[in-house]
Amino acid sequence: MMPALVLLLPLGLGAFFILWPRPDATLRRGLALAAGLWLLAAALWLLEAALNGTPAAAVAGGWPAPYGIVLVADALAALLLVVMALLALAALGHAAATDADRPHRGFHALFQLQLFGLAGALLAGDLFNLFVFFEVLLLASYGLLLHAQGRQGRPCPPAVALHYVLLNLMGSTLFLLAVALVYAAAGTLSMSQLAARLGSLPAPDQALAGAGLMLLATVLALKAALLPLLAWLPGTYAAAPAPVAALFTLLTKVGVYGLVRLWTIANGGIAAALPGLPAPLPGGDPAHPVAGLLGPVLVTAALATLAAGAVGALAARGLRRLVAWLVPVSVGTLLAGIAAGGTDGLAGALYYLVQSTFITAGLFFLADLLPAAVADGRRGQETPPGQRPAPVLAVLFLLGAMGIAGLPPLSGFIGKALVLSAVAPANGPLWAWIWTVVLAASLALVLALTRTGIRLFWTPLGAGAPAAAAPSLPVLLPALALIAAGPLLTVLAGPATQLAEAVARQTRDGGSYAAAVAKLAPTAAPAAPSSTRRRSGRHQEARQSSIDCRHGVEPGASARTSMRDPVPTSSAMEQPP
Amino acid sequence: MEWLLAAAIGLLVGSGVYLLLSTQSFTVVLGFLLLSYGVNLLVLAGGRLVVREPPLASTGPAAADPLPQALVLTAIVIGLGMTAFALALALWAARRSGSGDVRAAAGDDGDDDP
């Protein structure tokens, strides 16, 4: 029941905030922070359970497992839930300390609904509920982007909002299209059943399911901002207020999470432990032809995204936009590791995901603490008038920049080294490209961050220029905590990489995921009635056509109702009337 | 029956995509509306076309697949909400920028690089 509780709390709190007539900022903040802490505890509990080999699973809605709303908290989902809860706490802390939640009464309600959508997307056990939760989190993100104004009080430019919303509307429509295709071909949307069934479909259905899966990959690439679908990201993230932008850094990671799931499904990974099915991983034949196509496409798109992000970072004016460009760099590195590096690549990518998400969000907070003209880098105002920014901010920026660019002592270096060693020459022919692009992008990031740092903190104003007062501790704390993830993950690199490896192993072999879903099924055989749906569907069609014949309907007419499957047609024709 | 449905889906999706390519935000929203109608029909067709049968397995030998019907119901509700939101947003943006052009006022506060 724990996964359902993780969803119910933000949903209930969001509804409560909407219905609460008298806005009392202190109470709202207290409730939201308490809910965040509870969410963190629950996520840790789920992670612990998943790592012990028994992922928590629940089914909501009163229907048995393959039809109800299946929620599975395997190690990957639970790890991202922990990241989400920590990020939400920091974002709430920043919003409360800088009063970013005050101008708009709906901030806390939208924030909780955003958490609801995020958690639901991470826990959803089938593609349709993934679609629904994506809609929830997108709708909440539209609201947050449009209405919540940052400390600097700039509303979102209309064009940015329109582009973000319209692009994502199209993405959602395509998502539904892909879901329809996959269902038409495979007869199921449950992730564990899909993985089991994709490999054994007849050839025409293979093609249809493949088209659906690739369409799904396109939509998830839009959420993750892979290269051809990248242009919406920098403007949107730079326009969002800092707490919202921090949460948005996780939105792209949810797209990456969806791609990992899709990759696992296409490889038949989740179903490896189901009896009677071959285990195609690691490195063996892909279970579905799409797996052979998806890998190269993902690697190419990831490398292109990485390069584009590095160029964008070099061209960015102002800290806010520079940090926004760091997001595609991180996504590109992640996906290159995931698509080319096998289980080790996934482990390295997970380590890198945690640290890059925290540090990017921390840098968004940092940009919020600088004077608006500085953070935006408006022309002619590159230096703050008369004052140097507080030295403590410069130190934070240095730590964050080193962490995100991947300079040796800090966690970004460890993450990139893990990813690069996973795609070492032994593992495939792509390694040279990946090493070149990742390392060149790191160099570009070092250049871009150094230049921005010099312009922000080191501009020769003259020795007499006074330093601005340092922000108070509550204001500084969220940025400090997030950027401290860099040094912290370096000190704890051993346990952290072990954790990432355990999560990666469980994600790739998928046995416990399938077992957790199977436990939800009403009978011992996992979802027996539905796994024979296709065949029984054909029988039904055959039966139905014979009924129609008895009613005096021309047999061919109803036999044609099976749209593209020649088998029932012929069998229906053979049925005696 | 299938050709009718297939033609309807194709027409809706084709018109939707054509309208989506417009530069006027209201037209784009209309395109999204048509596209989502087409996709909803496709979801329904994903469960095979069964005529005059209830979506309940227990009532007789033949039954329509109930799952796509449940899915399409959810999708219609979501599509309605999204369309309403997109219309409100298009109105807001048109008021703010003074034109219904989706490219209008991209850098009205100097944030975007020229």
Q: Which residue of A has its CA nearest to B94?
A: A158
Question: Who has greater pLDDT, A561 or A110?
Answer: A110
A538 touches chain B (CB under 8 A): no
B-chain residues near A67 (CB < 8 A): 67
- CA angle, residues A509, A512, A516, in degrees to nearest 5: 145
One-letter identity of residue A124: A
Chain A residues within 8 A of B93 when measuring between CB atoms? 158-159, 161-162
CA A165 to chain B, closest CA, distance in angstroms equals: 7
- Residue spans per domain, chain B: 2-51+62-97
Q: How far apart are CA A156 and CA A575, in angstroms?
A: 65
- Chain A residues near residue B50 by CB distance under 8 angstroms: 540-541, 544, 561
Specify the pLDDT at position A119.
Answer: 93
| A449 pLDDT more than 60 | yes
Q: Residue A405: is its pLDDT beyond 80? A: yes
- Torsion over CA of A73, A76, A82 and A83, rounded to 10 degrees? -140
> Please, what is the average pLDDT of chain A?
78
User: Smallest Cα–Cα separation from A273: which of A195, A198, A375?
Assistant: A195
Q: Are A193 and A66 in contact (CB under 8 A)?
A: yes
The pLDDT tens digits of the residues spanning A481-513 come to 999 988 888 888 889 989 998 888 888 777 778
What region, left, alpha or beta, does residue A384 occupy, with left being phi > 0 and alpha being psi -120 to 50 degrees? beta
Query: A residues 115-174 near B, CB within 8 Å?
Result: 128, 132, 135, 139, 142, 146, 154, 157-163, 165-166, 169-170, 172-173
pLDDT of residue B16: 94
User: What does the alpha-carbon distance between residue A314 and residue A308 come to, in Å, rounded to a whole number?
Assistant: 10
For B43, which of A169, A180, A537 is closest by C-beta distance? A180
Which of B50, B53, B68 lies at the smallest CB-CB distance from A183? B68
Position A87 confidence tier, pLDDT thresholds 50, 70, 90? very high
Question: A256 and A353 in contact (C-beta within 8 Å)?
Answer: yes
- The two structure tokens encoding residue B27: 């037209």
Candidate from B29, B78, B96 with C-beta closest to A132: B78
What tens digit of pLDDT does each residue of B44-67 get? 888 777 777 766 666 566 677 778
Q: For residue B107, is pLDDT > 70?
A: no
Per-residue pLDDT at A275: 35
Joined tokens for residue A562: 């099976």
If pLDDT is split at 50, 70 and 90, which confidence band does B86 have? very high
The predicted model scores a pTM of: 0.84
Task: Report how far Cα A267 is from the mean position of its chain's Cα atoms.
Answer: 20
Nearest-by-CA chain B residue for A174: B39
Domain residue ranges in chain A: 2-462+473-520, 532-574
pLDDT tens digits, A411-440: 889 999 998 888 877 666 778 888 889 999
Given a cut of 50, is residue B10 above it in pLDDT? yes
Q: Look at residue A572 and tell me whether its pLDDT is greater than 70.
A: no
pLDDT, position A150: 53
Cβ atoms A515, A273 nearer than 8 A: yes
* Stretch A185-198: mean pLDDT: 82
Asked if the model's pLDDT at residue A276 lies above 60, the reply is no
Gyration radius of chain A's alpha carbons: 25
A208 interfaces chain B, CB cutoff of 8 Å = no
CB B77 within 8 A of CB B83: no
Residue A116 has pLDDT above 60, yes or no: yes
Alpha helices per DSSP H over chain B? 2-20, 25-45, 66-97
The minimal CB distance from B25 to the residues A139, A162, A317 is found for: A162
Residue-level pLDDT at A457: 77
pLDDT above 70 covers a percentage of chain A that reads: 78
Contact: B78, A154; criterion CB under 8 Å: no
Residue A468 in this model has a pLDDT that exceeds 80: no
Rg (CA), chain B: 19
> Which range in A240-254, A536-550, B49-63 is most confidently predicted, on average pLDDT?
A240-254
